[in-house]
Chain A
């Protein structure tokens, strides 16, 4: 039976791209790899974290359309405007705010799962390390985002947080000065936090997530630790 012309066109476009990129092989490699027997709901925590991050990215773009990183009152005013006057503004801001909490919870649950099940052991050590960096970056997102509404709570919590950073070993003082844009909390601090929060760290997270996922597909996800190969012919013949 001949294909519907629209489907035909779709196939042609995909073929055209595939002829030049060979991407379909990578897609098949990612999608049709096998996951071990016994894979259960706990294995969805990683992709749930990724989904929460995507939600943050999308809602964040909408917030960025209204937000002004202006420490002299513009920031506070733009958040007020967004919350009270923009259509669905409070809802999207709420999704971003609570999405942050959800992502933090999920990243800890996912880490707890991989820790308890010993998934950090050979050969997945590097993926664990990438994961720790992702955890830290997630917390940096939470910290830098907290300042942006620029109300009293945001301001004072951030002053304290950057002062605490300043007491850190070796790099502490430099890191604190870099964050604040000087030795004091000033007008540039807010725009620095904004750039870090919406460009630098999300970029790093996206890149590292890619590496994390590549390794997941390459090495395969662990089987639950209780799953053992039945002492049947297969293993015996291999060992013999």
Chain B
């Protein structure tokens, strides 16, 4: 904007402003209504979704998959999307730093007098692109990789038993990951190495029904899992019995 455009803007703005209404009570009423909506949202979220507390910090675990709060998922996902190690620095630091620099300097490089979004195609397209990219990355981050994913190869003996067996094995893998077994057991390098015994080769040590007995009636401190849905319980039992 050159000097003339600046003056023109100020002049036009002062007219629009003088035609407007006083902040109090007109804008204040809208702001207050919006504040009520915000309060209702916060209270509802707190009542419906509540809070949780995970297990206590254990700095000796090395396999815990860290997971940020959802509004950092888009940054976290960049890490997964950008794979080559030489580019990881770009994902974690480069892109956010560049983004911040662009935000800070925006008023200095976009100085045209036009303010209507439909007449600022570059700005509007950038907005749409960034918004969609952030939404997609957040969605990906929310759906991929549970914090306790269990990385273990499918045993060939299971693969040979056919698709039903593979499906049951996968269900078991998921149920084990979801039920916090890794808090206390090491399973092929996943999880903590105590207080429970390593389960990597449990199938060669215990038959399936003995595993099931332990799950239903364990000795403390292991909790009982007899209240799990039957299909999950069976799947866990099967999964462990195949780890040989």
Contact = CB atoms under 8 A, between A and B. Distances in A.
Given A44-B30, A47-B35, A90-B50, A120 B92 contact: no
Contacts of B103: 132, 135
B55 interface: yes
Residue among A37, A93, A106 with max Cβ neighbours from chain B (10 Å):
A37
Interface stretch (B7-15, B150-158, B167-175, B230-238): B7-15
Interface stretch (A8-16, A17-25, A156-164, A195-203): A156-164
A205 interface: no
Interface string B113-131: 1111100100110010001
A220 interface: yes
A136 B17 CA distance: 31
Contacts of A93: 51
B57 A102 contact: no
B27 interface: yes
A31 B24 contact: yes
Interface string B8-49: 011111011111111110111011011101110111011101
A41 interface: yes
Interface residues on A, range: 35 or more
Contacts of A125: 107-108
Nearest to A76: B56
B107 A121 contact: yes
B53 A225 contact: no
A79 B53 contact: yes
Contact of B110 (A47, A121, A159): A121
Interface residues of B, number: 78
Contact of A48 (B10, B38, B71, B114): B38
B69 A142 contact: yes
Contacts of A156: 61, 64-67
Contacts of A47: 31, 34-35
Given A83-B51, A95-B42, A129-B104, A153 B67 contact: yes
Contact of B68 (A32, A116, A132, A161): A161
B16 A101 contact: no
Contact of B111 (A31, A48, A121): A121
Nearest to B114: A118
A228 B35 CA distance: 30
Secondary structure at chain B's binding surface: helix, strand, loop or mixed? helix
Contacts of B41: 102
A101 B27 contact: no
Contact of A128 (B21, B33, B92, B107): B107
Greatest chain A CB density within 10 A among B56, B110, B120 is at B56
A2 interface: no
B163 interface: no
B16 A37 contact: yes
B31 to A, nearest CB: 4
A55 B11 contact: no
Q: Which of B38, B47, B54, B55 has the most CB of A within 10 A?
A: B38
B72 interface: yes
A99 interface: yes
Contacts of B112: 121
Contacts of A83: 51, 53
B45 A102 contact: yes
A106 to B, nearest CB: 7
Contacts of A119: 115
B72 to A, nearest CB: 7
B38 A102 contact: yes
Contacts of B16: 36-38, 223, 227, 229
7 contacts: A90-B50, A98-B46, A121-B110, A152-B56, A220-B17, A226-B116, A229-B16
Given A35-B26, A35-B27, A118-B120, 8 more contacts: A33-B23, A34-B22, A35-B23, A48-B38, A83-B53, A112-B131, A123-B6, A159-B66
A-B pairs, top 5 by smallest CB distance, nearest first, are A94-B46, A118-B115, A125-B107, A156-B66, A98-B45
